Structures are given as C-alpha cells and as structure tokens.
Amino acid sequence: MISRNPYKALEKNLGYRFKNKSFLKIALTHPSFSNEYPQGEVEDNQRLEFLGDAVLGYMCASHLFKRFPGFREGRLTKTRASMANSEILATIGASLELGEFLLLGKGEKNMGGNQRGSNITDALEAIIGAAYLDGGIKASWKIFSRLFFPHIERLISVQPLENPKGTLQEHAQQNWKVSPAYRITEESGPPHDRAYTAEVVINNEVAGIGRGASKQTAEKDAALNALVALDIEA
C-alpha cells in the first residue's frame, strides 16, 4: 500500500520536495505539541528555526550583494532586515496556508495558534533550516527564490528614503562643508489644492528640483531628486 504524503500541497507551494519528510515534520512541530509527550520523544522546531534564521540571513545577504552592486553597506543592511522581518515572513507563511500544517498542543490549538503570526514565522524559518539539512544550500535556495524574490523586488521598487533631507545634509557637510539651502520657486492652484515647486541649492548650484502639495513635501522631493542626481545612496 502506497502511503499518502500529507505535505504534497505544501511542498508544491514551497517549490521543493523533501527527500526526508521527517525534517519537514519537525519543522512544523510547535513546542506545545512536543510538550504533550515524554521529554525527548517528539522533537520540536526550535533548533531548526535557529538554523533557518541563519541560512535565511545568508541568502538575503548573498542575493542583495549580487543583485544590487551599487548598494552601500548601510542600505544593504537595512534592506536585508526589511526582507526577513516578521511581517514578510508572516505574509509568506499565510500564502502557503502554513497554519493548517502546524502540529500544535491542544491548548495552543484551541487558542487559535494555527493562525498566530509568531508560530507561522517560526515554522517558515524552521522549514528553510529543514531544507538545508535535507538538500544543502541549493534546497534552501529553491524555497528562498520562489517565495522571497517577489517580495524583494517589490520592496526595492517602493522603498523610500526615510529622511532624504537629512541624508543630503549629512553628505553635503561631509564632502563640501556646506548645508543645502531650500527655496520655493513656484506656487499654483486654488487654496484647497495648492502645488509647490522647490529647489535645493548646494554651492550656489541647483542640485535638485521637487514638487508637492506642501512646501515640506516639495523640499523633500527636491532633496530626493538631488540624491538621485548626485548618485548618493541612503
């Protein structure tokens, strides 16, 4: 009799088929489940979570280093942290319906533990660790590229500079010993729908021009455009 694979749908969504299903089972085993058995009889996913976190960090760093050669260390570090934060892990885990596969203790299950974000993120990291044990870094990379690449590209495309005026100020002070000066050059539109144009001047030259619905927004846009024109990374 051919035994049924209870993880077939999950493996399909992960983009990787485990040779040793026990690794995947452990990755899906919450500590509350193992606590209901004699000590050591059932292994939980905490050790695999530890391993998976390290493997995920490596893959994020490696991908960013190769994909974005123009990024400096500061932006690489910020982007790596954004790529593997709990929100993205929970989103990916939910898309896999990971909660439906978790092995939970009765109390945790009754309290809705299969939908708890921390349980889902821990299990996803554990799965990456399990894949590493099952098939090495290539196995983990299959899962990473399938699940994380879309989020990485979206993150980079919409990731704004948190403080472009501050970044520009710091760069100007360090390199030219001057502070950027902002001026509003145009105001238009009715009182309820104003539009402003701003310039940022460095060393008596216009470094960037920006527009916005407020003076502050226009100045921020001008600083951002100056950073782009000067090829300055956050």
- For 76-130, the pLDDT digits (tens) are 887 888 788 887 888 899 889 999 999 999 999 999 889 888 999 999 999 999 9
Query: Does this chain's domain 8-158 share its CATH topology with 164-229?
Result: no
Q: Which residues are catalytically annotated?
A: 53, 125
pLDDT band at residue 155, thresholds of 50, 70 and 90?
A: low
Q: Per mean pLDDT, which range of 9-13, 19-23, 187-191 is the poorest?
A: 187-191
Over residues 179-184, mean pLDDT: 96
Say yes or no to pLDDT of 67 above 90: no
Say yes or no to pLDDT of 159 above 70: no
132, containing H or E segment: helix 117-158
Tell me the CATH architecture of domain 164-229: 2-Layer Sandwich (3.30)
At residue 1, the pLDDT reads 42
Domain ranges of the chain: 8-158, 164-229
- CA angle 35/40/46 to nearest 5° reads 65
Bridge partners, residue 206, by sequence: 201
Give φ, ψ of 213 to 5 degrees: -80, -5
Is the domain spanning 8-158 CATH 1.10.10.10? The answer is no
